[in-house]
Structure 1
Amino acid sequence: MVMIIICFLAPWLAMFLRGKVIQGILCILLHITVIGWIPATIWALMVTRKEA
């Protein structure tokens, strides 16, 4: 439940917490743009759900 909240607020942080450093950096770049926030959130949710 906490990871889902982190995915919505800071998708890049969810990637870093899962050990995906390069994906986290790419997610930060995507999250910087307002339009990119939605795909970054979806991407983070997919990564965290796949590993759970």
Structure 2
Amino acid sequence: MLLAILFPSLSMLLNGHILKAILCFILHLTLIGWIPAAIWGVASLTEDRARRRQEELLRAVQRA
């Protein structure tokens, strides 16, 4: 989570969102754009975690 706040473009890149990471890096270059980029990085990380949880839940339901 700290990585998503401090380096949002790196966080997105590590999660496999290449185009989002590039756009976020461009936004992150400005001081004013850093805050929206950090919020976007945290939101993207939270969304990825929720998607993984949902996929695990669906797999568990399908097995039962």
- How many corresponding residue pairs? 49
- Relative to the length of structure 2, the TM-score reads 0.74
Q: Which runs of 5+ in 1 are unaligned?
A: none
Q: Which runs of 5+ in 2 are unaligned?
A: 50-64
* Identity rate, percent: 41
Structure-to-structure mapping, 1:22-41, within 5 angstroms: 22-41=19-38
User: Which aligned runs of 4 or more in structure 1 are off by greater than 3 angstroms?
Assistant: none
Measured on the aligned residues, the alpha-carbon RMSD in Å equals 0.5
1:9 Cα deviation after fit: 1.2
The SS at the match of 1:36 is helix
Larger RCO: 1 or 2 (CA < 8 Å, sep 6+): 1
- Relative to the length of structure 1, the TM-score reads 0.90
- The question of 1:19 aligning with 2:16 is answered yes
The SS at the match of 1:8 is helix
Task: Give the number of the structure whose residues are more often helix, by fraction.
Answer: 2
**Per-residue deviation, residues 6-43 of structure 1 (Å, max 9, x unmatched):** 01110000000110000000000000000000000000
